[in-house]
Structure formats: C-alpha cells, structure tokens
Amino acid sequence: MTVFQRATLIGVGLIGGSLGMALRARGLAREVVGVTRAEARISQARSSGAIDRGTTDPAAGVDGADLVVLAVPPDQILPAARQVLPHLRPGALLTDVASVKAGIVRAIDALIRPESGVMFVGGHPMAGNEGQGIAAAEPGLFEGTVYLVTPTPRTPRAGVDRLAGLARALGAVPIEMAPDEHDRTVALVSHLPYLVAAALMGATGSVAPAAGPSFLGATRVAGSPVALWAQICRLNREQIQQALQAFRNELARLEAAIGDEDGLDALLEAARRARRRLGAMQKDLGQG
Amino acid sequence: MIVVMGPGHTRPQLDAVIKIIEEGGLRVQINEGVERIVIGVVGDSHTKEVLREHLEAMAGVESVVRILQPYKLVSREFQGGRDSIVWVGNVAFGGGRVVVIAGPCSVETREQALETARAVKAAGAQVLRGGAFKPRTSPYSFLGLEEEALKILSEAREVTGLPVVTEAMDARQLEMVTKYADMVQIGARNMQNYTLLREAGRVKHPVMLKRGPGATIEELLLAAEYIMAEGNPNVVLCERGIRTFETFTRFTLDLNAVPVLKRLTHLPVIVDPCHGTGKWELVTPMARASVAAGADGLLIEVHPEPAKALSDGPQQLTPENFAAMMQELDAVALAVGRRV
C-alpha cells in the first residue's frame, strides 16, 4: 500500500483513535491529524499516540489530507461529510466507519460533485470492544478482523482498491458488499447478537449472579454503551426485524426439537460444527 | 512451490523472503495462519529451482515444498490446506453452509423472472440465477433476451435482495454482465475458452466455472488456474455432469468430483443436478446426494411452468417441487452435520 501523506480523522473515539494509533504504529500515514469537538480531547488523543496534531476546525483539519475518515457516531456522519467536502483536495479518499450503510452511503454519494475529484468509499471495520472513547482505543483493534467495504455503482474502483489496501495494511481482511447487503449482513451478525444479549440479561433476571463463563461470553456485548447501539438499531430497523424473525424461527425449531432427541442432537451438532469452523477461520485471520 | 514460514519467524525475515522471490521475477501469494505463514510462489519453474536452495537456508523458513500438480493457485496446499471463501454479495460460498442458487434456465419475461425469484427466495434460496445469453445446440433455438434479461435480473435483485449470477460467453458479454450481475458464470461449453477465462480473471466479480461435459477434473482445475493466474481469486467450481455411454440421463452427474475436488483444491464446489440428469424427477434425489457428498452448494433451475419453458423445460423444477426439495435437503444436511 502506498503510504498516505496526511490522514485526517474526524472524531477520535474508540474507532478513530484506534485507527490513528494503527496508522502511526504501522507507518501507513506520514501525519495523522485528529478533528475533535472539544479542545481538551486533542491533548488526550495526542498523549495516547492516536494523532500527531489536532484541531477543532474540520476545514483546517482536512486541508491537504489524502485520507479522511469520518469516525463519528452514525447520526453525525452526514453533517461531518457536509462540513469537510468543500475543503477536500482532488484525489482525496473519503471514507466513514458507520455500522449502518445504505442511507449514509447514498446521501454522501449525492453530495459529491464528480469534478471535485474526491473519492468516497463507505467502510465498516467489524472491530470494537465494550469500551468507549479514546480511553478504550488500541492499535491492534483491527488485526484479524473483517473490514466491510461498501461501494455503489458510482464508487470509483481506484478508491475501493485503496480502502481495501488500507484494510489489509491494518491487518484486517476486506470484504466488498453493496450497502444494502451490508445492512442485511450486520443485522444478522452484529445487531441481532446485541439484542439477543440484552434479551438474555432480561430473561435471566435475579439469577444472573449465578452465571458462569458461557453466560458472560454470550452477553458480553450487552455491556456496551447504549446510546450508540440504540441509534444503530433504529437506523437498521427493517433489516433487524427480518433478522429477529429468522432468530425466532430457529428458536421455535430448537424448542420443537427438545421433545425429539435425535432432531435436537442434529441441530446442535450442525451448530457446533459451524461454530468450530468459524472459530478456525477467525483463527486463520489471526484472532487466536 | 510454497515456502512455509515457521512459528516464531519475524516480519523482517518474511519481508526478506518475499523480496528474494520477487527479485527473481516470481509472484507471491501469502496465506497467513496463526503460527505459520504459507507463501505461494508462481512463475518460471527454472527460476524457482535456482531459488529453492537459497530460500531453504533463509532465516525463519521452515520448509520449501514443490507442488507437483500442474495447477498451483487452485491447489489445496497453496491455501495452507484450508477452504477459501468466495463472497457473492453478502453470501459466502465455502463457509460451511450449503448455499442454494436457484432460478429459471432463461429469463423469458419480467413476470416469469420476478415470480420465480420471489418463490425461490421464500423457499430458502440464497442466490438467484437466470440466463440472459443462452448457448444452445441449435442456432434456431431461443438464444436469450440478452441485456433486457440482465435488467430484469437486476430488478429481481432489488425486489428480493438475492445476489444474481448469470452466464457470459465472450468478452463483450462479460463486460455487460459485470454491469448488472454479482457473479459471472462460465458455462460448460466455454470451460476451455482460454481467452474468456483470462478476461474473467481480470474482472473483480466472482466467477462460477462449470465443468465441461468432456473435461477431466484436472482440466477443470487448470481452467480455474487460468482465472486465478490473472488475479481473480474468487472462483466457485460447478460439477454439472459428464458425457458417458449412458443415454437414459442427459449427462452422468459425476458426484465423485465433489470429494475429489474438495481434496485437491481450496475452492468451493457446487453441483448442478438439473443439467447433470436432464430430468426434473431426478433432481431432488441427486441434490440430496450432492449435499451428502459434501458439496458447498447447489445450482437448481426453477420455472413457474416448466412445460412452457423456452429452454431446458424437462429438467426444471416447479416452485412447489423446489420448496419440497429444500425441505428434504434440510434433513440430509442435518444428517451430515450441516445446514442449508
């Protein structure tokens, strides 16, 4: 991958901060600039090694940047894109990290004037932890994870290749899918598990303190900050409803199979094998 | 040739090995595992022999293994013994789940295509198929709606959310197909059309490569090697029957090919029991057998009124029969520890 001259992160929280750390630690950008809302965040981001310098002025922050990453919560992506677009130089790669894509990608595509020479490519690193903000950021956050890249028919190929190259350089595996396919996929592999974890916490009630590691593992994600998740669930509501329906069907099938010993074993065995296979794949990606 | 970097090798040692290989004018393909990294080396065999001893002596290198088969990139060793995953839209082939591709042999009308798309989705198909360009034995047969069909398939994708696969028979069609479809099919008749294979290797779309009725398994793998050698790693192989002395069925569905291919290559392997048998009443039994044999997916032709189909009517399932087949496949898949 060719090294970026100046990478600007709009938002230096968990994802933006981790990205800055990784870009700097791996020498993928000569300079990393952070744009934060409050002045106080700049020194925090600098001392944690996420950025070289910071500003609260988005226009100044993206000046001369050849990579601009919108790493703010989903509802702030579009306002942030509006703010920075007029100040981007031709050839710059603009990307975001929002976890719901169809609406956001369509809206930013519509904002881009072809003559500006700016390439926008939607992206979604499937990385994170239960923490929040720069304090939870870590340079290895993307290693061995999947990085979803969501081009539309309007997206320039060169931009897609550039973002995929960046993902690989971060130690992640890029997978391309259209924005609506992305939203259906994350409804199943991300939003559904979150809601199921929350439902498990609810169903368990007062006996939860007796739980062992399997319960803790299955509900880990329920401990994440609510504001962001609630926003995501609302944005991807339709796809989540379909994912929930698929989940209900599976639950109903398991419930019916409990009375039928062989049937239950077969369903559980198929799940066990699929999970082990997935575990081996993730291990190959480097997650261990 | 593959170079295995052992546990505990360092990044500079890996870089040094890659540098030596690339300086020799050879290409590398890297597969990262937890402990070992497998570097596939492709290019002139003489240069490889010259480099071999040198590489064996380099720090961090555990072993250097020659690949004896004529195909390299498609061979299982090259991928470190693992299955590769081919993404078609948001559907993963080779990820463990049995993926069913279904739809009409040819797109005949908008209504026929949309009706079939809805029906196969409701029954659990994950990818939609439909022919736009039809290679037929006779030039006077229905040859397909071409670009109009591609537009109809795009619409069907919008409506159902299913990614679309359709065949391209030459470079010009390939360009058109990649504008509309999510996956390109290279048909049995074109399996050894090396110009087309090379063109397909240069596009970003995943490719479904069907085995020619007169082709050996090795020839199929070499055809896939053509695509991969041009830089497209996303190939799914499809067994669809070979020509034998048997005349009761249209072809003889070679299910041996499934476990054989799974041993020889990391690429996903699917089966087309419709062409393989030519008779709709044989499709479900052979689909069950394919899943039991370890296929990663199936390609099934479905038509609302097979008797009125403009191509291959006798081998297409009705939507009702397709739904019944999916139910049966569920039981077979569970019996072998998988799901459809």
Residue extents of the structural domains in chain A? 4-177, 182-257
- Which chain B residues are Cβ-neighbours of A185 within 8 angstroms? 90
**What is the C-alpha to C-alpha distance for residues B336 and B340, in angstroms, rounded to an integer?**
11
What pLDDT sits at residue B69?
83
B285: left (phi over 0), alpha (psi -120 to 50) or beta: alpha
What pLDDT sits at residue B135?
77
> Between A175, A184, A273, which is nearest B337 by CB?
A273
**What is the C-alpha to C-alpha distance for residues B95 and B110, in angstroms, rounded to an integer?**
33
What pLDDT sits at residue B134?
85
- Which chain A residues are Cβ-neighbours of B85 within 8 angstroms? 281
Residue with tokens 């497209």: B232
pLDDT-wise least confident of A100-109, A187-196, B5-14, B204-213: B5-14
CB pair distance less than 8 Å for B82 and A182: no
Give the DSSP letter string of B215-272.
--HHHHHHHHHHHHHTT---EEEEE--B--S--SSSSB--TTHHHHHHHHBSS-EEE-
CB pair distance less than 8 Å for B204 and A273: no
- Range list of H helices, chain B: 11-23, 45-56, 110-123, 147-160, 171-180, 194-202, 217-229, 257-264, 273-277, 280-293, 319-335
- Which chain A residues are Cβ-neighbours of B33 within 8 angstroms? 283-284
Residue with tokens 């989705």: B121
CB pair distance less than 8 Å for A266 and B97: no
CB pair distance less than 8 Å for B334 and A281: no
Interchain contact B90–A (C-beta under 8 A): yes
Q: Which domains does chain B have, with CATH numbers?
A: 2-66 (3.30.70.1140), 86-335 (3.20.20.70)
- Which chain A residues are Cβ-neighbours of B338 within 8 angstroms? 270, 273-274
* Confidence tier at A287 by pLDDT (50, 70, 90): very low
Interchain contact B122–A (C-beta under 8 A): no
**What is the C-alpha to C-alpha distance for residues B66 and B72, in angstroms, rounded to an integer?**
10
pLDDT of A282 over the 70 cut: no
Which residue in B11, B37, B83, B90 has the most chain A C-beta atoms within 10 A of its own C-beta, making it the best mutation to test that interface? B90
What pLDDT sits at residue A114?
87
Q: Do B139 and B102 form a contact (C-beta atoms < 8 A)?
A: no
User: At B317, phi and psi to the nearest 5?
Assistant: -85, 150
pLDDT of A17 over the 90 cut: yes
Which residue in A124, A242, A267, A284 has the most chain B C-beta atoms within 10 A of its own C-beta, making it the best mutation to test that interface? A284
pLDDT of A286 over the 50 cut: no
Number of residues written out for chain B: 340
What pLDDT sits at residue B263?
96
- Which chain B residues are Cβ-neighbours of A183 within 8 angstroms? none
- Closest residue in A to B332 (Cα) is A266
User: At B146, phi and psi to the nearest 5?
Assistant: 55, -130
> Between A178, A273, A274, which is nearest B89 by CB?
A178
Give the DSSP letter string of B126-137.
-EEE-BSS---S
What pLDDT sits at residue B34?
61
CB pair distance less than 8 Å for B334 and A157: no
What pLDDT sits at residue B77?
86
CATH superfamily placement of domain A4-177:
NAD(P)-binding Rossmann-like Domain (3.40.50.720)
Interchain contact B202–A (C-beta under 8 A): no
Q: How far is CA B170 from the centre of its chain?
A: 18
Torsion of CA A87, A90, A91, A97, to 10 degrees: 20
Low-confidence ranges of chain B (pLDDT < 50): none
Q: How far is CA A121 from the centre of its chain?
A: 14
Largest CA distance in chain B: 68
What CATH number does the domain located at A182-257 have?
1.10.3660.10
CB pair distance less than 8 Å for B338 and A273: yes
pTM of the full structure = 0.88
CB atoms within 10 A of CB A138: 16
- Which chain B residues are Cβ-neighbours of A281 within 8 angstroms? 82, 85, 95
User: At A71, phi and psi to the nearest 5?
Assistant: -115, 45
Same fold, A4-177 and A182-257: no
Q: Report residue B169 as tokens.
A: 């028979």
**What is the C-alpha to C-alpha distance for residues B97 and B333, in angstroms, rounded to an integer?**
9
ipTM greater than 0.85: no
What pLDDT sits at residue A285?
53
Q: What is the mean pLDDT of chain A?
A: 93
What pLDDT sits at residue B33?
65
- Which chain B residues are Cβ-neighbours of A269 within 8 angstroms? 337
Chain B closest-CA separation from residue A37 CA (Å): 36
Pairing verdict, β A119-125 and B27-32: unpaired
